[in-house]
Amino acid sequence: MVDWGRINLKPAVRNTGTLPRVRARYDAAQNTPETRKHWQNADYLDAKEANSASVRNILRSRARYQVHQNDSLASGIVSTLVNDIVGTGPRLQIISDDSVMSQEIERRWRAWAESVDLATTLRTACTAKIVDGEAFGMFINRPAADNPVTLDIRLVEADQIATPSMVSLGSGSVDGLVLDDLGYVTAYHMLDEHPGGVLSSGGSYSVIPAPVMLHWFRQLRPGQYRGIPEITTALPLFAQLSEYTQSVISAARSAADMAVYMKTNNPAIEVTEVDPGTEIEISRGSMIFGPEGWEPVQMKSEQPTTTYEMFKSEILNQIARCLNMPYNIAACNSKKYNYASGRLDHQTYFRSIDVTRDHMRNAVLNRVFRRWFKDALAVPGLLPYGAENSIKEIHWFWNGREHVDPAKEANAQASRLASMTTTLAAEYAVQGKDWETELRQLAKEKKLMAELGLQVMSQPHQAARPEDNEEDEEQDDE
C-alpha cells in the first residue's frame, strides 16, 4: 500500500522568480463591456433554483402559446417530431425458450394496448415532454375497461405536480417531489385540480407514491429533477421570425395602400396653395389632372422581399437545431436538397430519435409492461401457465423508416447480408418488423404457394458494385 504521507509532493522545479508566471486567459471569461452585455443574464444557480416553479411556469405557458395557439411552424415541427418518434406505437417482442408462450403474451399485451389506446397516450406524453418539458402519467385501474386487465395510464399536466404553499418541503426536496436522503424521488405532490382550472381549490392535493407515477423528462444537468421545454432556446427565435414577417407584411401593405403621392420641384408655388397631407381620391380607370406644378409619383415597395426567404430559412434552421431536426423536415420543403445531402442530414435526426426512443423504453415502456404483466398474472387463465418464469428479454419495435431510394437500399441490404455484417433480425428491426413473425409468414406463404402449384420467378439479387455506387453519387450531386 502506498503511504501518501511519506511521499514528497513538492514540485521538482521551484519558482525562483526568473521565469515569468503563466496565466491562462479565456476570451469568454473576460469582463469587458461587450461580454457583460452579452452575458448579463448568466447566473450561478444550481439546477433546482434555475428551474424553479416560477421559471418553469413562464416557459411552459410561452411554449404552449407558441406551439398550440399561435404558430403553425412550431405546431408542425412538434407534430412531425412526435409522429417520427412514436408513430403508431411500439410493438412488443418477448424472448423466451417457448415461442408459443411468447406469442400468447405478445397477443395479450397487444389487445390491452389497443383497449387503452396506448399509442395515443404515448404521443400525447411525447408532445408534453417537448412543449412542457416533462410528462407525468399515473397508473390507475378502470373497472369498465374493455379488457380483463383493468390497468390504464392517466396523464397529468406538469402544472398539477406541485407542492402547495402551505406545505413545507424537506431539505433538498423539489417543488412537487419528495426526495429521500440519497436524492431519490419517493413521492409526488399532485394537486387535486389543475391550478389554471375554474374549479381549482388551490390547496388540496394528494401524495402519489413514486412507483405509481411515470415521470419522463430530459435531464440536462446533474441534480435536475424537473424538466423545461425542449424548445426553450428556440422561443426567442420564433418571436423574431414572427416580428420580421409582420414587418415585411406591414411594409408591403403600406406601399400598396398609398398608390401615389404628389410632389413638386417648383419653388414658385406657394405652400398655402396645397396643404401638406391633402388627399385626392382617385377612381379606378380614370384620369385626373393634378394641381399646376405638381406631378404624381408611384409609391415603391421598400420591404426586404429579396432577403425574406433567406432570413426565414436561416432562422428556421436555427430553430430546428435544438431538436436535431434537419431543415427540410422542419420546413416540409426539400427543394434545395439532393439525395446525398438529404440522407446525410437525416442521420443526425435519426440518431436523436433512437436516443429518445431508448429513453422512453427505460422511463415509460418497461415500467408499463412490468405493471401490466403483474396485473395480467393476477387474472386467472389469462396468461399460459409458467409465464412468470419464461421471459428472458423484452424488445420494442417501432415504425420503420421509408428509404427515399428503395433500389439503393435493397442493394446495400443485400451487400450487408452477403458479407455477414448484419442479420435478418437487424434488417427487419430497421423496418419496424419482428423477424420471427416475418419468417413464419414467409414460410406460410411458400407452403401455400407450393400447395397451389404457384411459383414466383425471381432473379437472384446482386449486390451493388462500388463503381455503381460512385456513379449514383455523381448523379445525385448533379
Between residues 114 and 435, which one has the greater pLDDT? 114
Check whether 55 has a pLDDT greater than 60: yes
Residues 115 and 204 in one domain: yes
Residues 218 and 251 in one domain: no
pLDDT band at 95 (very low <50, low <70, confident <90, very high): confident
Mean pLDDT score, 407-426: 78
* pLDDT tens by residue, 378-414: 999 999 888 888 898 899 988 877 666 667 777 777 8
Residues 54 and 199 in one domain: yes
Confirm whether 277 is domain-assigned. Answer: no
**Among 182, 212, 231, where does a domain finish?**
231
Confirm whether 42 is domain-assigned. Answer: no
Question: Which pLDDT belongs to residue 149?
Answer: 94
Confirm whether 278 is domain-assigned. Answer: no
pLDDT band at 291 (very low <50, low <70, confident <90, very high): low
Check whether 230 has a pLDDT greater than 50: yes
pLDDT band at 372 (very low <50, low <70, confident <90, very high): very high
pLDDT band at 248 (very low <50, low <70, confident <90, very high): confident
Q: Name the strand (E) or helix (H) holding 261.
A: strand 260-263
Question: Which pLDDT belongs to residue 5?
Answer: 54
Confirm whether 351 is domain-assigned. Answer: no
Check whether 130 has a pLDDT greater than 50: yes
Question: Which pLDDT belongs to residue 158?
Answer: 95
Most confident range (mean pLDDT) of 22-31, 32-41, 106-115, 391-400 is: 106-115
* pLDDT tens by residue, 207-225: 999 999 999 999 999 999 9
Residues 208 and 85 in one domain: yes
Is 153 in contact with 139 (CB distance < 8 Å)?
A: yes
Structural domain boundaries enclosing 467? 405-478
Between residues 293 and 137, which one has the greater pLDDT? 137
Question: Which pLDDT belongs to residue 274?
Answer: 56
Cell of 441: 409468414
Residues 213 and 90 in one domain: yes
Residues 80 and 154 in one domain: yes
Confirm whether 257 is domain-assigned. Answer: yes
pLDDT band at 84 (very low <50, low <70, confident <90, very high): very high
Question: Which pLDDT belongs to residue 396?
Answer: 92
Residues 108 and 248 in one domain: no
**Which residue's entry shows cell 440522407?**
343
Confirm whether 391 is domain-assigned. Answer: no
Residues 54 and 193 in one domain: yes
- The chain-wide mean pLDDT, for the chain, equals 81
- Distance spanning both ends of the chain, measured CA to CA: 68
pLDDT band at 320 (very low <50, low <70, confident <90, very high): very high
Residues 204 and 239 in one domain: no
Mean pLDDT score, 102-122: 94
Between residues 303 and 218, which one has the greater pLDDT? 218
Residues 217 and 257 in one domain: no
Check whether 260 has a pLDDT greater than 60: no
Please state, in angstroms and rounded to a whole number, the distance separating the CA atoms of residues 163 and 156: 15
Task: Look at the chain and report how many structural domains it folds into.
Answer: 3
Confirm whether 396 is domain-assigned. Answer: no
Q: What is the DSSP string of 299-322?
A: PP--S-HHHHHHHHHHHHHHHHHT
Angle between helices 53-64 and 235-257 (to 10 degrees): 40
Between residues 457 and 199, which one has the greater pLDDT? 199
Question: Which pLDDT belongs to residue 266?
Answer: 61
pTM: 0.77
Confirm whether 373 is domain-assigned. Answer: no
Residues 297 and 412 in one domain: no
Cell of 448: 401455400
* pLDDT tens by residue, 321-371: 999 999 989 988 877 777 667 777 788 899 999 999 999 999 999 999 999
Question: Which pLDDT belongs to residue 307?
Answer: 80
Task: Report DSSP state, residue 22.
Answer: P
The SS3 of residue 89 is coil
pLDDT band at 466 (very low <50, low <70, confident <90, very high): very low
CA distances from residue 213 to 92, 135, 149, 367 in whole angstroms, order as listed? 22, 10, 18, 10
Residues 196 and 308 in one domain: no
Non-local (6+) Cβ contacts of 226 within 8 A are 51, 56, 133, 134, 158, 174, 175, 176, 177, 217
Strand order of the β-sheet with 213-217 is 151-156, 134-141, 213-217
